[in-house]
Amino acid sequence: MKQLFYKYQGTGNDFVMIDNRSGVFDKSNTPLIAHFCNRRTGVGADGLILLESEPGYDFKMVYFNADGNESTMCGNGGRCIVAFAKFLELIDNKASFLAIDGPHLARIDQGYVELKMQDVLTLTSTDHYHVLDTGSPHYVALKPGLETIDMNIEGAKIRYSKPFNNSGINVNFAEKIDATTFAIRTYERGVEAETLSCGTGATAVAIAMFHSNQTASKSINLNTQGGRLQVRFEPLSSSYTEVWLCGPTQQVFKAELEW
């Protein structure tokens, strides 16, 4: 069998993108999806995304982790699927789409995508870390000497630790650069490794840093391993709204996989 696909990346977070408006792709074929994402025997990606039809929306986003399992919201994947929809001429400069965590709005200009995320309703803090859900669950901690950390070791320790080992958690370490900029590194569950960028992770870091008074800015730059993202938001008394994840996207190539 053959499958036409496209490869997209957003600040180094890369995805296999498939137009599944016909509904013929087998979403239950976990080994096939994992094969697509395998960097040695397949295409290689942090995840696979299906673009599908959805009444009342421009399209629907269905996201799978690199392990082949359908997962929670992916911020950079959401930005990339907007660029894909633009390429397919489904949208002009604005989009309204449905993802696993609900509806999203987006704007695109020359491949730069601004994606509206869900409101962040709860944030739990301790003296050492923060936990919040930005479409996916995230652990955030400040770590000096960020470049020297082995994220695959340190991230895995937290990802599988109590109280997170039932469903796991994404792990983000951040380091303050200036009043509005933080460096960030992320270990993603489902990928089970560090990724060059994570959109929901960048969103989590930005809000956690504001919440813990590390910054007074409501527009924060996040320097990932794969490039720069920007997160904007409006704080309320106990939640955050108007959350926007912004950054570049790129179509890398188009090909067919035969199996």
What the block records as the tokens of 125 is 């803090």
The architecture that CATH gives domain 123-246 is Roll (3.10)
| pLDDT given at position 259 | 82
Domains 2-115+249-258 and 123-246 share a fold: yes
| pLDDT given at position 18 | 98
| pLDDT given at position 162 | 85
Tell me the domain boundaries of the chain.
2-115+249-258, 123-246
| pLDDT given at position 17 | 98
Asked if 114 contacts 145 with a C-beta cutoff of 8 angstroms, the reply is no
What the block records as the tokens of 120 is 């962040």
Alpha helix stretches (DSSP H) within 13-167: 30-37, 75-87, 151-159
Contacts of residue 3, Cβ cutoff 8 Å, sequence gap at least 6: 18, 25, 256, 257
Asked if 104 contacts 116 with a C-beta cutoff of 8 angstroms, the reply is yes
Q: What are the beta bridge partners of residue 138?
A: 132, 170
Measured in degrees and rounded to the nearest 5, phi and psi for residue 158 equal -80, -40
Measured in degrees and rounded to the nearest 5, phi and psi for residue 233 equal -160, 165
Axis-axis angle for helices 199-211, 75-87 (nearest 10)? 130
pLDDT in tens, 50-96: 999 999 999 999 999 999 999 999 999 999 999 999 999 999 999 99
| pLDDT given at position 15 | 98
**Known catalytic residue at 198:** yes
Asked if 234 contacts 170 with a C-beta cutoff of 8 angstroms, the reply is no
CA distances from 77 to 50, 201, 250 (A): 10, 12, 11
Catalytic choice (37, 74, 80, 246):
74
Q: Which CATH number applies to 2-115+249-258? A: 3.10.310.10
My answer on whether omega of the bond before 103 falls inside 30° of 0, hence cis, is no
Catalytic choice (37, 80, 198, 246):
198
- 3-state SS assignment for residue 146: helix
How much of the chain exceeds pLDDT 70, in percent? Answer: 100
**Known catalytic residue at 80:** no
pLDDT in tens, 95-116: 999 999 999 999 999 999 999 9
Contacts of residue 40, Cβ cutoff 8 Å, sequence gap at least 6: none
pLDDT for residue 166 is more than 80: no
